[in-house]
């Protein structure tokens, strides 16, 4: 498969997840909207204004996994705080 095709598939999937998340929230009564949840049961989304704490937990939390939900948007972020532990495990296993 060509890289352009893969890139297009990823863009379509991302746009679809975004649209589904917005639709999911707009379909709720105004009082029930949290602007945070999951699409298809596993893709996280959070459209609330990010706070410093949520940004830190998303991008730098050594005790969490390498992939964490975005502080704002749809999908996952790389948790740079957890990378040293993962890289150390990989190095030990080689």
At 63 the pLDDT is: 87
Helix, strand or coil, per DSSP, at residue 21 = helix
- Residue 86 has a pLDDT of 87
Q: What's the domain count of the chain?
A: 1
pTM of the model as a whole: 0.84
- Check whether 94 has a pLDDT greater than 80: no
Q: What is the pLDDT averaged over residues 67-91?
A: 92
Torsion of CA 21, 27, 28, 33, to 10 degrees: 40
Average pLDDT over residues 85-93: 86
Residue 7's pLDDT band (boundaries 50, 70, 90)? very high
Residue 34 belongs to what domain range?
Answer: 3-93
Average pLDDT, the chain: 94
């Amino acid at each position: 498969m060509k890289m352009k095709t893969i890139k297009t598939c990823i863009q379509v999937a991302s746009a679809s997840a975004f649209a589904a998340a917005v639709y999911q929230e707009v379909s709720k009564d105004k009082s029930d909207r949290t602007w945070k949840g999951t699409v298809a049961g596993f893709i996280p989304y959070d459209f609330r204004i990010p706070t410093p704490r949520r940004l830190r937990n998303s991008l730098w939390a050594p005790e969490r996994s390498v992939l964490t939900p975005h502080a704002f948007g749809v999908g996952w972020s790389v948790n740079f705080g957890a990378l040293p532990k993962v890289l150390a495990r990989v190095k030990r296993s080689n």
